[in-house]
Amino acid sequence: MWIYEKKLEHPVRVTCPDVKFAKMVITQYGGPDGELGASLRYLNQRYSMPTDKAKALLTDIGTEELAHMEMIAAMVYKLVDGATCEDFKAAGWEGQYVQHNHGLFWTDANGIPWCASYIACLGDPIADLTEDMAAEQKARVTYEHLIACTDDPCVKDTLRFLWQREVVHFQRFGETLNDVQEWMCKSKHLWNGHKCGCE
């Protein structure tokens, strides 16, 4: 299904390690609006989409979100490269050091682990695509907050790239929502996806 190129979708560079910012950016790894939830949401919802075009879009974006999770992982790892226990303590992130050292774990910025309740799949294409559009907006805003919290131009470059992709995904989901609604009308489907029984 996938062809994996062994390189990041966009270069991830940091000017210098910054454990405090790593603690913030980890939320896009495993937080409620992060890349793990996005990838799982879209790759799961694709199965209940009524058109091949909608299924393909969810597969493509879900796959790209996996690439974004890889980029966030690379960023966090570079931000904590060489950090000591004292560095983690100074950043207020000693729990990360004690439980994972420099390893990655899916949490938000407060250390709360990722949870499947962050995502949904109702099996209704209108509800699911609308949720997907909202998810992209929440990720966009989170990236804006992160950009405002760092002075590192290299980190900002990567975050801006990810921000731009959230905007594009929102637009693609909006177009797909329109397409699916038109398909449902033309196919004499009700909004819940069932064929009309009065033919």
The pLDDT assigned to 180 comes to 94
Please identify every stretch of the chain with a pLDDT value under 50, giving residue numbers as ranges: 196-199
The pLDDT assigned to 186 comes to 82
Asked whether residue 136 is marked as a ligand-binding residue, the answer is: yes
Indicate whether 1 belongs to any domain: no
Asked whether residue 169 is marked as a ligand-binding residue, the answer is: yes
Indicate whether 14 belongs to any domain: no
Number of domains in the chain: 1
The pLDDT assigned to 13 comes to 97
Of 100, 132, 134, nearest to 26 by C-alpha is 100
Indicate whether 74 belongs to any domain: yes
Could you give the CA distance from residue 49 to residue 115 in angstroms, rounded to a whole number?
Answer: 24
The pLDDT assigned to 188 comes to 64
Indicate whether 196 belongs to any domain: no
Asked whether residue 10 is marked as a ligand-binding residue, the answer is: no
Could you give the CA distance from residue 191 to residue 29 in angstroms, rounded to a whole number?
Answer: 34
Asked whether residue 144 is marked as a ligand-binding residue, the answer is: no
Which tokens go with 13? Answer: 């560079």
Indicate whether 46 belongs to any domain: yes
Asked whether residue 60 is marked as a ligand-binding residue, the answer is: yes
Give me the domain span that covers residue 178: 19-186
Of 86, 92, 83, 98, nearest to 110 by C-alpha is 92
Q: Tell me, what DSSP letter sits at residue 152?
A: -
CA-CA distances (angstroms) from residue 96 to 25, 64, 78? 13, 27, 15
Asked whether residue 65 is marked as a ligand-binding residue, the answer is: yes
Indicate whether 47 belongs to any domain: yes
Indicate whether 7 belongs to any domain: no
- The CATH number that applies at residue 97 is 1.20.1260.10
* pTM higher than 0.95: no
